[in-house]
Amino acid sequence: MTLSVLALDLGTRTGWAAKGKDRAIVSGVMNFKPQRFEGGGMRFLRFKRWLTELKANLDGIDALYFEEVRRHVSTDSAHAYGGFLATLTAWCEHHEIPYQGVPVGTIKRHVSGKGNASKEDVIAAVRKRGFNPADDNEADALAIMLWVQDTQETEYENA
């Protein structure tokens, strides 16, 4: 049986890639930028609601992978990432979905051959694999999905 997998590049503009039980990969970008009159926590509530909707549309999520970022360009981006990560891991625990972070260098090295690949390099590498990402966030999510497919797939083939 083939299981469904979700790959996420967490952030205000969250890139996502999902592989359903039919093995088709779909992807996109969701924007969780706070609205003008919203409190700071609303982006995380919208993120949680979106995860639940995605889970329903995929007929469940059997495993979730996300880009594990250890260094951020700004304090604000570090805070946002931490909020998304906390929301994601609590949501996964609540729904009993196994999750795993994948280091940035691992993803870049796998898809492009260089652990320090630029955003443009990752986009180009993902395009070579037949995808057309809208931006670097979607490209990162697709790169995670390709890593899962190429390195973790045997775990899901016999499940």
d(CA 16, CA 103): 16
**Farthest CA pair distance, the chain:** 49
pLDDT, tens digit (0-9, with 9 covering 90-100), for 119-157: 999 999 999 999 999 999 999 999 999 999 999 865 555
Low-confidence ranges of the chain (pLDDT < 50): 158-159
Asked whether the beta carbons of 14 and 26 are under 8 A apart, the reply is no
Token code pair at residue 29: 């970008």
State both tokens at 19: 């592989």
Residue 127 is predicted with a pLDDT of 97
